[in-house]
A and B are shown apart, each in its own frame.
Chain A
Amino acid sequence: GAVVSQHPSRVICKSGTSVKIECRSLDFQATTMFWYRQFPKQSLMLMATSNEGSKATYEQGVEKDKFLINHASLTLSTLTVTSAHPEDSSFYICSAETGGGGYSNQPQHFGDGTRLSIL
């Protein structure tokens, strides 16, 4: 259970291109999904929290106009990197929380990640 699918797994494109990444929860509904970025040899950095039916919450320093997030259904969130440049090259990973209530946070389960390379 708790499978998160992320697509595509790898993107190589020219500078100035916009790239869309999809994140789907396959066997559960996720009201909240998360988008992370990871540079080589570094830990995960949370970019934004995606909430179904409402605007995403971005972390400090993340440009919301550059990284567009849409969470249109309980099983799908998308991240669009607009006008990507070489410095946006990174490993982008989404996650979803299984929910279920209770007083503690439920574990986040991660997609396989998208390796983005901007030439």
Chain B
Amino acid sequence: QKEVEQNSGPLSVPEGAIASLNCTYSDRGSQSFFWYRQYSGKSPELIMFIYSNGDKEDGRFTAQLNKASQYVSLLIRDSQPSDSATYLCAVATYGNNRLAFGKGNQVVVIP
């Protein structure tokens, strides 16, 4: 089983809609969870990070963490064409600053 899994294929959403991305992880000791956005040919850019169960909102982005079920999700509200990118989920374990990345989910926002 891979450490971090993002199984959904490319996600197409109309402009203004909500994009929902999911990520599961295998290590129950994981403590820190990150979402990065990566445009084609560019390096990842930090979008959100979350440490505690529940929701964390930042602008149009909401991260949701459920440690009991070992998943973390990202919601993008009012999706814009500029949100079209690959979104990477990353997980770290307490005391170990090594990040494990998922394969990423491509999001395409259709004007």
Chain A residues in contact with chain B, CB under 8 A?
6, 32, 34, 42-44, 46, 49, 93, 97, 103-105, 107-113
Are A97 and B43 also in contact (CB < 8 A) when A44-B88, A104-B31, A107-B34 are? Answer: no
Stretch among B55-63, B76-84, B90-98 lining the A interface? B90-98
Chain B residues touching A, range = 20 to 34
Contact with A along B23-50 (1 / 0, CB 8 A): 0000000011010100000111110010
Is the contact region of chain B dominated by helix, strand, or loop, or is it mixed?
Answer: strand
Task: Check B44–A46 contact: CB distance below 8 A.
Answer: no
Could you name 14 residue pairs across A and B whose Cβ atoms are closer than 8 Å?
A43-B88, A43-B101, A44-B44, A49-B97, A93-B43, A97-B97, A104-B31, A104-B94, A105-B92, A105-B97, A105-B99, A107-B34, A108-B34, A108-B46
* A115: nearest chain-B partner, CB-CB: B41
Nearest-Cβ distance from residue A52 to partner chain B, whole angstroms: 13
- Expressed in whole angstroms, the Cα–Cα distance for A56 and B99 within the complex equals 16
Are A105 and B42 also in contact (CB < 8 A) when A46-B98, A49-B97 are? Answer: no
Nearest-Cβ distance from residue B88 to partner chain A, whole angstroms: 7
